[in-house]
Chains A and B, each alone.
Chain A
Amino acid sequence: LAYRILDHTADIGIEATAPDIPALFSEAVRATAAVILDREPPEPTGHVPFAVDGDDLPTVLAALLGEALWAFESTGRLPVACRCEVSETTAAGTLDVVEDATIGGPAIKAVTYHQLSVEPAGHGWLARVIFDV
């Protein structure tokens, strides 16, 4: 797996790695789905468009994951990956979703900026995100 779930006394986090930023963002979406499902996410069955912005890569990622949580809350469709184009301040593309996902893990309320990071690591990129649950 290219992600791991971070244990936290009150909340929960994810760490994802990938060779490039679009793949990193997709891996972060997959990790978020894994937290919600408490298992490896299934293959997607549909997709929805999205466009988000931020001040820098970490806040763009936070906005993307916020969009994924909103899609789940409002439609019941859980994003498990994404395909997107990313600039320093925007990301746009499609969220790959599964229908009628059943929660197996903690309910995520929101994406925090606590320890939020997107940074080069080895030959690729590393992202860290802490959620409020």
Chain B
Amino acid sequence: MKTRSVGPYEWEIPVGEVSGMRVPGRVFADARMLAKAREDRALEQVANVATLPGIVRASYAMPDIHWGYGFVVGGVAATDVDGGGVISPGGVGFDICCGVRLLRSELVLDDVRERLPDIAQRLGERIPRGVGTKGMLRLDRDELAGVMRDGAAWTVARGLGWESDLERCEDHGRLDGADPAAVSDRAFERGAPQCGSLGAGNHFLEIQLVDEIDDHDVADAFELREGMVCVMMHTGSRGLGHQVCTDELKVFDKLMRRSGIEVPDRQLACGPVEAPEGERYLAAMAAAANFARANRHALAHGVREVFADVLGRSAEDMGMRLVYDVAHNLAKIERYTVDGRERELCVHRKGATRAFGPGHPELADRYRDVGQPVIVPGSMGTGSYVLVGTDAGRDKAFWSTCHGAGRAMSRTQAKKRMGGQQVKADLLAAGVLVNATHPGLLAEEAPYAYKDVAQVVDTCEGAGLSRKVARLRPLAVIKG
């Protein structure tokens, strides 16, 4: 796969490298990341995405790029809605609206040091996790439909979470256009018991400490200070989202054949955004996204309760306010000027985070002057980052940036290197408590199985996609 350097940390895959490419591929990476992406065939997937009908400018890949199923992980693709552009359920993924939420607090390490094992233990008991887990909320069909329509606002209306949280969520915690009627009975059945659950795999909840501030002005706007205790959580739409994608993949596979659309990988199944199937998928995807927002909202409520119980102070008194909640698996209709004309685009972000720059009208007043917070979890036991969107990000990659460290090693390779118990012991020796339902599985998510998240966020900054605001280091990890 040919690539050529087109700027600092920016590489182009020319049209023609894969048959049917409509636009070039554009990869944000340093030379080492690019070599790794080439090695695991992720570049081929970037080029495959460039064949989607209606795609504009380029098929983009963020620095945490790695091989996925169909779409590259770390991929961004925007299609022109009025120009026959397509939407692809595979370009969102099975875990629709998987994302990250960060709670800050006025607590410092001395406030929690002695009680940290208790807090980790209590969080482990309070937060449902693992495969097929039953969540904190048991919803009947009408309640679940309400969650799908109203997202985080549904949970707030029932006393879970704070009204002030909503302006600190992407889309104010509710993606417009959701229609529970577009969601199958099986998806209802899977979602009903799972709201307020963490799941398994790379999903986690972490107690963290802000240990470095890179941009003090923006950190002030985000209410972050060095030495502050925070809680980060990473999860998504659970079985409901998985089922929506499974159902729609089948629909789009058929639609694609009927429409005569050809793509190099069946998982890239797609159809016109404006086709009835496209509109229905957007409605079902939004319903799953709202479920994911409500899910993280319910979990945050559980976190606040545990801190309050253990430390004997109210969550309000401890200042446990939300910094932001943002997705990294979603397709959204956004407006951009392309080739001198303003267009409505369907922007797929698969393992990539929206990162609006300063002044964007969709941002809440609180963040409009500085830009959107972006929460980037590192691998288990390493640092995580808070970034902010930039002006330049709009033209670079439709206001998108990285979503994490990105895997560098398969699960089998990771397990061969070290057992889960050893990983746990090493983390403990490094001062990180671990509470996992399956300690043996920790090896799959060991820090060495991922790229260095610091290099990823530095590359994003070098490429102009986002800027660093703060670094957080883990104190305790709760895993499914």
Contact = CB atoms under 8 A, between A and B. Distances in A.
A105 B200 CA distance: 11
Given A109-B201, A113-B249, A130 B131 contact: no
A107 B407 CA distance: 16
B40 interface: yes
Interface stretch (A8-16, A24-32, A43-51, A79-87): A8-16
B267 A112 contact: yes
Interface in B181-206: 186, 189-190, 199-201
A106 B201 contact: yes
B151 interface: no
Interface string B190-224: 10000000011100000000000000000000000
B131 A73 contact: yes
Contacts of A63: 250
B99 interface: no
A110 interface: yes
A17 interface: no
A116 interface: yes
A130 B69 contact: yes
A70 B188 CA distance: 13
Contacts of B239: 73
Contact of A107 (B245, B266, B409, B480): B480
Given A109-B94, A109-B95, A10 B267 contact: no
A106 B266 contact: no
A113 B70 contact: yes
Nearest to A132: B94
B86 to A, nearest CB: 16
B191 to A, nearest CB: 12
Main secondary structure, interface of A, reads loop
A104 interface: yes
Contacts of B413: 7
Contacts of B265: 113-115
A54 to B, nearest CB: 7
Nearest to B412: A7
A55 interface: yes
A115 B190 CA distance: 26
A12 B245 CA distance: 18
B51 to A, nearest CB: 15
A29 to B, nearest CB: 17
Contacts of A107: 130-131, 199-201, 480
A72 interface: yes
A70 B201 CA distance: 17
Contacts of A22: none
B24 to A, nearest CB: 23
Contacts of A103: 130-131, 200, 438, 441
A105 B345 CA distance: 39
B253 interface: yes
B254 interface: yes
Contact of A73 (B132, B246, B412): B132
Contacts of B53: none
B246 A111 contact: yes
A72 B130 CA distance: 13
B267 A113 contact: yes
Contacts of B257: 55
Interface in B382-413: 407-413
B67 to A, nearest CB: 5
Most chain A C-beta atoms within 10 Å of own C-beta, residue among B245, B411, B440, B480 = B411
Contacts of A133: 201, 411
Contacts of A111: 246
A113 B266 CA distance: 6
B266 A114 contact: yes
Nearest to B238: A109
A103 B480 CA distance: 11
Contacts of B132: 72-74, 76
A132 B93 contact: yes
B230 interface: no
Nearest to A54: B250
A22 B411 CA distance: 30
B371 interface: no
A133 B201 CA distance: 7
B67 A9 contact: yes
Interface string B40-51: 100000000000
B200 to A, nearest CB: 4
Interface of B: 40, 66-70, 73, 90, 93-95, 130-132, 186, 189-190, 199-201, 239, 242, 245-246, 249-250, 253-254, 257, 265-267, 269, 407-413, 438, 440-441, 444, 480
12 contacts: A9-B410, A10-B66, A55-B253, A63-B250, A73-B239, A103-B441, A106-B411, A109-B242, A110-B242, A110-B245, A112-B94, A116-B266
Given A10-B69, A132-B242, 8 more contacts: A9-B40, A11-B68, A73-B190, A112-B69, A114-B90, A114-B266, A116-B267, A130-B69
